[in-house]
Structure 1
Amino acid sequence: MPVDGPSNARSPRELAALLDALQKNVGRVFLGKPDIVRFAAVALLADGHLLLDDVPGVGKTLLAKALARSLACKFNRIQFTPDLLPGDLLGVTIYRAQTSEFLFQPGPVFAEVVLADEINRATPRTQSALLEAMQERQVTVDGNTRPLGPPFLVVATQNPHEFEGTYPLPESQLDRFMLRVKVGYPDREAERAILTQHRAGEPVEALEPVLQPADVIALQTHVRTVRVDPSIAEYILDLIGGTRTHPELALGASTRAALAMYRAVQAFAVTAGRDFAVPDDVKALAEPVLAHRLVTRSWAAGGHPDAGPVVREILAKLKVPA
């Protein structure tokens, strides 16, 4: 079924209604954290990937499932474990003796929304199998390249590195995630509502899709039309450059990070109902987009990996465009 073309054009009002329906639908079961839901929508609209990072039991998988169920897209969940192999993700070619043919059996990555649950419990070899899929939207197995999507979204969850049985994600893998979001604990009121909501079962199972694949692509196309003033683009470049010269950072932000920031800023503006970006969009996204891509010197020496404070420090020193 075609997902683009003149017949599928959407007006700005229709697009805003679709986005509002998506965020409200996810917010029905992921309670008390509208900012986290907004970041998830930003990743989807900007055609990026989302990494949810926090301790077990705070709703990371719930958010991913709620987002997937809100979209009428093919959804696969992959539970990452130490014995998971690259072929378990991508698929394998098997020989059928009856027909004397080799047939490709697609793996679970062949979906429009993929939940990589507890991604850092798999070995680095298996984690790296996702690199081509996430960046190029394609998978190459036995010399044959097969496309993925559109749309194609990977939502991964991970536990803190200090937890037993986890492997740190390689820098190249982290760089493929547009945003890393720390979920955090809900406040008391939201947690009370969660207790009440779960009396009758798992509420996410009752969610109905509110967006079709064509709607997602229309929103993604609209995001790319958002105007980013040259002064905002320079603000982004100043921030990226600051990460490359800061004495506390052993590895600064890549050009891919700059592109991710630019696209995320466009998507963030759309979630605010604007067709233009403002400096506050950059400020809101600086840590979720950049912190996980940076390597602090203390982390390289075996210390704490969080580069969030450094990002905030760089941002505070930058001149904000008028």
Structure 2
Amino acid sequence: MSKLTEQQINTNLENLSLVVDEIGKVIVGQKDVIEELLIAIIAGGHCLLEGVPGLAKTLMVSTLAKTVDLNFHRVQFTPDLMPSDIIGTEILEEDHVSGKRFFKFQHGPVFTNILLADEINRTPPKTQAALLEAMQEKRVSYGGKNYPLPKPFFVLATQNPVEQAGTYTLPEAQLDRFLMLVRVGYPSKDDEIEILNRTTSNTNVELNTLLTADDIICIQNLVRDVEVSPALLAYITDIVRATRPGEHLSDSLKDYIRWGAGPRAGQALVMCAKAKALLDGRFSVTIDDIHSIAPAVLRHRILLNFQAQADNVIPDTVVKDLLASVAKPISPLA
């Protein structure tokens, strides 16, 4: 285990479990979405959030940032957004004592703990690439110098799955950089009634700060200490390999998959399953942990062909069939 006292570990895990309820003071419903966002954060990855406008995606992220006491910046991605608008730029300054002029790097909004990249598919590939490079390297390069990003650093990018006119679709190689693709659906009728009640009255909600940046880093380190049996590692490998053409795909899958997931998908499955187990207060991964996070980890890493589009087959359907077709280990704890 990580070098933390048992009391610190228990306190951090208890507060982590309370974050979901704390966010629920502001966000009605969407518990699964909130949990998946937390899983992505404590697993040390980034998240792509997909949903139509008006589902409180921005409010959800800003509320999350308040409950965990992290700096939060939001950038609205537009067609005229430049890379320097994200990472920063050099400005000319003058020393008032000597009168000498010099260039100083002005940090952009990417220098934060949580960055909301709103409608990332609205900006050109050059700007997308600048953000994705910062996500991968956890630093910004400018003028031959490297500037490290704050820790922890988490990017939540949103995109509208309906209106695609004038958008720049993220290439598959760049989609693979996101640990999870989380889908936000419409609320239930009861939840929608409660949303109307809360947002049209004079209700003020006081949010409690439950975790600090240092606490999040400790939990991220703790996630890696969660145990995964050799049998479950082999099971995860079988799942990932089964997405690839030429492998032993079931009849319901082989006609629809054009390109499968790479090794990074297996790494993401392991880390997210570990984070899910820790979020539930356990230090060992189960098959249920793997199945619960598999759709969010795999749906953007499986490229379907034209036949799938013609038959209205979506990635989630493929993942469901995939999990049903891959043989489970006889003894998951072996």
- TM-score, normalised by the number of residues in structure 1: 0.91
Change (3 A) 1:155 1:279: same
Encode CA deviations 1:81-113: one digit per residue, 9 max, x unaligned. Answer: 111011100011122355321110111000011
Change (3 A) 1:301 1:314: closer
Deviation at 1:64, TM superposition (A): 1.3
CA RMSD of aligned residues (A): 2.4
- Amino acid across the alignment from 1:315: L
Q: Does the CA contact (< 8 Å) of 1:124 and 1:170 recur in 2? A: no
Separation in 2 of the partners of 1:129 and 1:202? 40
- Amino acid across the alignment from 2:231: S
Deviation at 1:201, TM superposition (A): 6.1
Encode CA deviations 1:195-240: one digit per residue, 9 max, x unaligned. Answer: 1111246867x53432111111111111111100111111110011
Separation in 2 of the partners of 1:212 and 1:94? 32
Deviation at 1:143, TM superposition (A): 1.6
Deviation at 1:162, TM superposition (A): 3.8
Separation in 2 of the partners of 1:82 and 1:194? 32
Aligned pair partner of 2:87 in 84, 87, 90:
90
Aligned pair partner of 2:69 in 69, 72, 77:
72
Change (3 A) 1:106 1:273: same
Q: Does the CA contact (< 8 Å) of 2:52 and 2:162 recur in 1? A: no
Separation in 2 of the partners of 1:207 and 1:239? 40
Q: Does the CA contact (< 8 Å) of 2:71 and 2:113 recur in 1? A: yes
Separation in 1 of the partners of 2:131 and 2:216? 22
Aligned to 1:106: 107
- TM-score, normalised by the number of residues in structure 2: 0.88
Aligned pair partner of 2:42 in 38, 42, 45:
45
- Which structure would you say has the larger Rg? 2
Q: Does the CA contact (< 8 Å) of 1:10 and 1:218 recur in 2? A: no
Separation in 2 of the partners of 1:222 and 1:6? 9
Change (3 A) 1:120 1:8: farther
Change (3 A) 1:14 1:148: same
- Amino acid across the alignment from 1:76: H
Aligned to 2:320: 312
Change (3 A) 1:10 1:298: farther
- Amino acid across the alignment from 2:236: I
Residue 191 in structure 1 maps to residue 192 in structure 2: yes
Change (3 A) 1:292 1:202: farther
- Amino acid across the alignment from 1:123: P
Of 262-271 and 11-20, more deviation after overlay is shown by 11-20
Aligned to 1:123: 124
Deviation at 1:304, TM superposition (A): 6.8
Separation in 2 of the partners of 1:312 and 1:302? 19
Encode CA deviations 1:257-306: one digit per residue, 9 max, x unaligned. Answer: 21111100100111122110001111111110011122111299899794
Change (3 A) 1:95 1:56: same
Separation in 1 of the partners of 2:273 and 2:46? 15
Separation in 2 of the partners of 1:23 and 1:212? 15
Change (3 A) 1:77 1:230: same
Aligned to 1:62: 59
Q: How much identity, in percent, do the aligned residues show?
A: 40
Of 95-104 and 229-238, more deviation after overlay is shown by 95-104
Residue 249 in structure 1 maps to residue 229 in structure 2: no
Aligned to 2:211: 211
1:125 aligns to what SS in structure 2? helix
Encode CA deviations 1:229-258: one digit per residue, 9 max, x unaligned. Answer: 111111110011011125322221122221
- Amino acid across the alignment from 1:108: P
Aligned to 2:232: 232
Deviation at 1:71, TM superposition (A): 1.9
Separation in 1 of the partners of 2:70 and 2:193? 32
Q: Does the CA contact (< 8 Å) of 1:78 and 1:115 recur in 2? A: yes
Q: Does the CA contact (< 8 Å) of 1:298 and 1:304 recur in 2? A: no
Q: Does the CA contact (< 8 Å) of 2:228 and 2:284 recur in 1? A: yes
Change (3 A) 1:87 1:262: same
Of 19-28 and 270-279, more deviation after overlay is shown by 19-28
- Amino acid across the alignment from 2:115: V
Aligned to 2:20: 23
